[in-house]
């Protein structure tokens, strides 16, 4: 439960009107150790650690979100998401500034085009709070402002010239930190593109700054349907009356809400905590959508859990929570591999006639397959064979390709060496030195 802000000396003179003004909240974000010490207990050791971290990374905590922190608990799950620690200054094996290769897949600044039919559009690097687990910590808060008009225009021009793009995801930073007029201008230009079918907005403001979600903002967003909003609740303590009101304003405008959590050590890596969270989300009409394995960005190893813990959590939800409340656990593969769903195994075995399955309690059942079923997609379905979106494993299932082979495989490298001109060209025996392997997997 939030502390009354009037009980905190830093804000004792703040009026209710100021407190409920999202612009006041943005102007008065906690950004220094001295300010933080006036809100929660910070030991001398922790203060030194925070100062050291702030020499590398920004801190910003909205006054509202700060009232959710237990002032005397250094292990508070809200505090861990908001307050810097010394662990953020150290790098561990496998970590990098851009582990998901968003910049590698960027055709123009602010835009990532990885999947054929959608783009990620980073319209600002500003947030109401700089989450300590942010995967874009290399980018978030650099200017604490919006992208330039020129960069916005170039990104929209790319989308206009790329008919395959059906889905545009606005993110950042947090796109809802833009003014209503600025955001409406971007949305109207996107909606004017005929091949853009849906627009999604990724935001954490209903969680960290619910005052931003006003009737005017919700009404403006609804002008650009179909529009979807994905929010970011990580812990049941964040499901406050203020957050519920913010989500309700959006829902009443017909905007579907999904939640994207990040699995964080010491915050929500507990089956009971996650069960409480997804049940609470359903009560405020927010559908649990994804739970992400924490990305290996620089300085985040202290937040990461095993992938097995994520699978265990999904196992604990299935059968105990409505199917609406069971999110997909995904690993956003380093190197730009995209989101890979990972979950419990329910298929135990199969023959050509029977599939053996288990349920969440361990009940095992055999399902008999129909003898006369003939798969049209594998036997002459021209829609499938001509489908331009059919790639990889889909082509194998349709009988269009027998194998998928890495370009780094020894076999492929050896074959390439045999094709090289020179005295060994065309010989049936292998060359004396194998062909050097590429240093990085080629991207499709």
Kindly list the catalytic residues. 114-115, 118, 127, 131, 134, 136, 295, 332, 339
Q: Per the structure block, which two tokens stand in for 75?
A: 């292990």
Judge whether 186 and 224 are in contact, CB under 8 Å.
no
CB-CB neighbours of 217 under 10 Å: 21
State the number of CA atoms in the 13 A half-sphere of 318 facing the CB: 17
Distance CA 81, CA 259 (A): 17
State the number of CA atoms in the 13 A half-sphere of 81 facing the CB: 27
413, containing H or E segment = helix 410-419
231, containing H or E segment = strand 227-231
Judge whether 277 and 235 are in contact, CB under 8 Å.
yes
282, containing H or E segment = helix 271-283
Judge whether 287 and 259 are in contact, CB under 8 Å.
yes
Q: Per the structure block, which two tokens stand in for 303?
A: 């937040």
Distance CA 328, CA 323 (A): 11
């Amino acid at each position: 439960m939030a502390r009354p802000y009037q009980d905190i000396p830093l804000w004792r003179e703040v009026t209710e009107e100021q407190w409920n003004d999202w612009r006041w909240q943005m102007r008065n974000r906690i950004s220094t150790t001295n300010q933080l010490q006036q809100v929660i207990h910070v030991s001398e050791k922790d203060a030194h650690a925070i100062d050291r971290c702030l020499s590398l990374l920004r801190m910003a905590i909205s006054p509202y979100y700060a009232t959710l922190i237990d002032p005397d608990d250094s292990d508070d799950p809200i505090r861990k998401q908001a307050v810097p620690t010394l662990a953020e200054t150290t790098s561990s094996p496998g970590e990098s500034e851009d582990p998901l290769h968003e910049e590698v897949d960027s055709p123009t600044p602010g835009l990532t085009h990885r999947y054929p039919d959608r783009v990620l559009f980073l319209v600002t690097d500003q947030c109401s709070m700089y989450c300590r687990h942010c995967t874009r910590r290399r980018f978030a808060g650099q200017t604490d402002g919006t992208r330039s008009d020129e960069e916005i225009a170039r990104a929209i021009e790319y989308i206009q010239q790329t008919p395959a793009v059906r889905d545009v995801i606005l993110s950042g930073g947090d796109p809802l930190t833009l003014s209503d007029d600025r955001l409406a201008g971007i949305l109207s230009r996107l909606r004017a593109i005929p091949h853009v079918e849906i627009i999604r907005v990724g935001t954490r403001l209903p969680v960290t700054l619910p005052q931003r979600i006003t009737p005017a903002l919700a009404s403006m967003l609804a002008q650009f349907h179909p529009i979807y909003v994905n929010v970011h609740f990580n812990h049941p303590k964040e499901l406050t009356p203020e957050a519920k009101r913010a989500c309700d304003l959006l829902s009443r405008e017909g905007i579907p809400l999904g939640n994207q959590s990040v699995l964080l050590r010491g915050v929500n890596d507990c089956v009971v905590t996650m069960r409480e969270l997804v049940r609470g989300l359903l009560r405020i009409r927010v559908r649990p959508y994804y739970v992400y394995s924490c990305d290996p960005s620089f300085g985040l190893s202290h937040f990461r859990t095993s992938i097995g813990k994520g699978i265990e959590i999904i196992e604990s939800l299935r059968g105990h929570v409505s199917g609406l409340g069971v999110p997909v656990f995904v690993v956003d593969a380093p190197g730009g591999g995209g989101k890979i769903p990972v979950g419990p195994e329910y298929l135990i075995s199969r023959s050509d006639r029977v599939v053996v399955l288990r349920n969440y309690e361990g009940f095992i059942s055999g399902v008999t397959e129909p003898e006369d079923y003939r798969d049209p997609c594998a036997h002459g379905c021209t829609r499938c064979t001509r489908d331009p979106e059919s790639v990889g494993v889909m082509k194998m299932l349709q009988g269009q390709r027998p194998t998928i082979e890495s370009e780094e495989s020894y076999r492929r490298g050896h074959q390439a060496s045999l094709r090289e001109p020179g005295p060994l060209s065309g010989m049936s025996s292998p060359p004396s030195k194998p062909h050097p392997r590429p240093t990085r997997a080629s991207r499709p």
